[in-house]
Structure 1
């Protein structure tokens, strides 16, 4: 997995290059141009572009301040091994005349940018890559943002947002406490007052929501899926999922299978 934040200025168009990996890049701010074998197009802010392996292209800045974009690349073997590529995201790298692109609203763009920063600082192994893929899948599906009740302290609101990300859910309570920046006793009291639950129960609920999303949209084996969502054993995951959804994970997957439609 490769992640880079790139600032490119105005100037001569760089030579087009090819690569053997799946790539997407998110334009953050500024203006630019995307040069391809079949033509070129303008680049604006908050656009997610998908580049197929062996597809020649180049990116350059066009405005006074150039173009700032986040680049993410994965090897084909890793994408296929995750179970996400062939099921859902592959449609966005489908061969065609023009590479596909998606506009993102400000909230989803910021979420992907934050995730990219976190991933760039941490290890780049298969587990981290699958977590990034899961979030990317939610973004292109237009997944809902975390719903929070009104009246929460700012530190708790920010902490919940950070703790609901896949990488944080794998860590669980330590990640939540670190994101909140408060003692466990204080967090417990505020959770009971504002959310009428405990931090542990909230984390489990977020893990189950992520698991349900992955069951609907991927073919990840249940063991890998359970570990990705932070459950330490398939049996515990199976029991908690059945308690929450009144069905088994496999039956839920069969009845709620959702594959992204090919882009028009």
Structure 2
């Protein structure tokens, strides 16, 4: 068994599994007694881990995470992890991440501009997705069906259905704390629309009171209440989103893009962009153009 430079075992798809699986391979693990699986990383595959009963401790990149029903975790190739627990039942679904990216293309979802998908590709944080209580039984049944029908044409179809469901319902769905547009005060809806239209015209927080006839203090309070951020944070996020779009769909120099969306300090632009997209702008542009 190969090992990393840190002496961590590598589970290689080419020789680790007892069968040559194609689309996916799913295992169902259950134990009433204490159980553990050694620390390792993956090569050639990723895996979803989901407990349907009890709990396990999934130690991911040295961060312990107690998984219970409702906690879906994706382990990427560049992650390391080990597991332990007792009195549990969980599934782990091994698959190729390129299948997820192909579905993104099919659904016209750009994995290189979607923040949550970029976090999978380039991030270091744990890829944890919450499964609401009313969806747990459905997901558990889906995993049971995948287990029963794996290595069959019907199983391949079920797996792609499963991937689409996870992608749409759990990965890229906005958090439940997101406020629906109709609950926003009308003046705030109008202000957000103006920000979107003028983000490449150098709009600043100083201009906001004149645009909505509200004080700085009132605007800040309402932003925190309804958007969970400050006006400055909202503007910066909108600028970065527009910058990512221009990097992908234009040949403008990076410094021109930064100035266009309202960043006069190039170093600050680079820092915020890297914080949001986990890549510097130049690498982001190359990665985006390489997606076909």
Q: Structure with the greater relative contact order (CA < 8 A, sep ≥ 6): 1 or 2?
A: 1
Bigger radius of gyration among the two:
2
Tell me the TM-score normalized by structure 1.
0.45
